Amino acid sequence: MSDLYQAFQSRITSIVNDPHLGVKQKNQFLALEAEASLPYLTVSQQVKNAMEKGILCDMFEGHAPFKPRYVLPDYAKFLDQGSDYLELEPAQDFDDALNLLTILYHHVPSVTNIPVYLGQLDDVLLAYVGDLSEQQVYQKLKRFWIMLDRTLPDAFMHVNIGPSDNIICRMILRIDAELKQIAPNLTFMYDPEITPDDLLRQATDNICECSKPHIANYPMHAAAYGEKRFGIVSCYNSLPLAGGSNTLVRMNLKQIAQLAENPAHFLTQLLPMYSELMIELIDARSTYLHEKSNFFQGFLTTEGLIEEARFAPMFGIYGMAEAVNLLIEKEGRSGRYGHDQQANQLAHTISSKLAELVDSLPVKYGLNGKALLHAQGGISLDQDVTPGVRIPYGNEPDPVSYVQATAQHHQYYTSGISDILTIDETVKSNREAMYNLCKGALNMGYREFTANVDSNDLVRVTGYMVKLSDIEKFAKQGSRNNTTFLGTEAAKNTAILDRKPRVASLESTPVYTTS
């Protein structure tokens, strides 16, 4: 018996016998081991070297991709037409709609095997409210919300609501604040032309209660994809509706900066070179999915719930903070990212260059032939490197200064960017401060506004939710939630618990202008 086979058997045995994993969790880990036992896709030696050095990372999506990373079905179309494959008639009322969605969710794949997109639920469900009373809608949605957390216990599962004011939107915000579940994740779309201030206040009040929802800048997303032609999924990823992401590959900017002689060398030589290698890896992975896996022969495609042409790869980057600090040091300067104007400007230049490269490098399977630039939120195994373009944990300036330092990045990252502001619990007695901070950030160009409140049990890690109380118990008893182990690893490896809670004491600072 070979050493490799013995090691494989040992890993399988450890999963089978793990006292902290449920049966479904064991099945998932066993499937990952099986796929990882296959030969890797054919890529050049340069790509292999870049992966071995930690410059490029395939996000552990598997050696033979047989499903897209993220899938965003057109749920409104599904409810309207039903499904031949699932033998379902079109929805006739609110109960029908909830039942049909519950069924379809179990047939929507993702990298986690749990659907990462549950739909723009207020748009999807409004047509079926009929003459139901507010209390009836509340009861039905609350049962639905509890069902989602208990049967699909994965914090990457994501619901969208807004920007219009309606009973479903308001009710979901109310229920989410009451239940404080890790799942589903939630994004509220904000449009200053449509969304009333008191609805935005309800959303920011929810952040004070349970660190949810994300607040998305609807006009920015709509400008990239078209009105109602996109969704926010998983952590905070913006992707085409009726499509999704076929793969996510990421680049470690810190590792590249270590190889650079100076900022010019980094920008004009190394970044273009590794971007081309990144596209090679993206094409290898997406080609297997589109041409060999037969995924796009399934009922989601044949019944028109997804379109193959609306899938795009995500060109992810992380480690901006460390890259900038290294490049500044190589020039003999002492400025630090997030605190120094020259350092911040260099970071903005890097983001602009990345957007230029992604736009100039075609991919084989993309949205209009292009990949989508993404500020990747990190994974639980990352050490000594900061997610996306965030300011390193424990070194954050006050919230207003944080927004001012990072806002210019958001224009470049079409498929998602998130800065997590950690706010002191005193904001609960001055909730207008959270509202002002959110509105100011969006007016300054934030694509997404996200905040944790320091005293909340429910917090964001890289973008997904976890309960601190679950992390404390995990080592002894595991968790029914699939993502608790990721949060536990992140707490150990990535210093998320070192985030510095800041008092939102500058809420009167004019970071935005009211109309």
State the pTM of this model: 0.92
pLDDT in tens, 307-338: 999 999 999 999 999 999 999 999 999 999 99
The predicted pLDDT at position 179 comes to 97
pLDDT in tens, 477-512: 666 666 665 656 555 565 555 555 645 544 333 333
- C-alpha 371/C-alpha 366 separation (Å) is 6
Instruction: Return the top range by mean pLDDT from 11-15, 71-75, 390-394.
Output: 71-75
* Percentage with pLDDT > 90 across the chain: 79
The predicted pLDDT at position 508 comes to 35
The predicted pLDDT at position 489 comes to 59
- C-alpha 299/C-alpha 36 separation (Å) is 27
pLDDT in tens, 228-276: 999 999 989 999 999 999 999 999 999 999 999 999 999 999 999 999 9
Task: Place 153 in a pLDDT band, splitting at 50, 70 and 90.
Answer: confident
Distances (CA, A) of 60 to 29, 46, 49, 116, 327: 12, 19, 17, 17, 29
Task: Place 514 in a pLDDT band, splitting at 50, 70 and 90.
Answer: very low
The predicted pLDDT at position 484 comes to 62
Print burial letters for 353-370: b (CB count within 10 Å at least 16), e (below 16).
bbbebbeebebebbbeeb
Task: Place 472 in a pLDDT band, splitting at 50, 70 and 90.
Answer: confident
Task: Place 469 in a pLDDT band, splitting at 50, 70 and 90.
Answer: confident
Pairing of strands 314-318, 248-252: parallel
Average pLDDT value for the chain: 91
Q: Give the residue with greater pLDDT, 432 vs 28.
A: 432
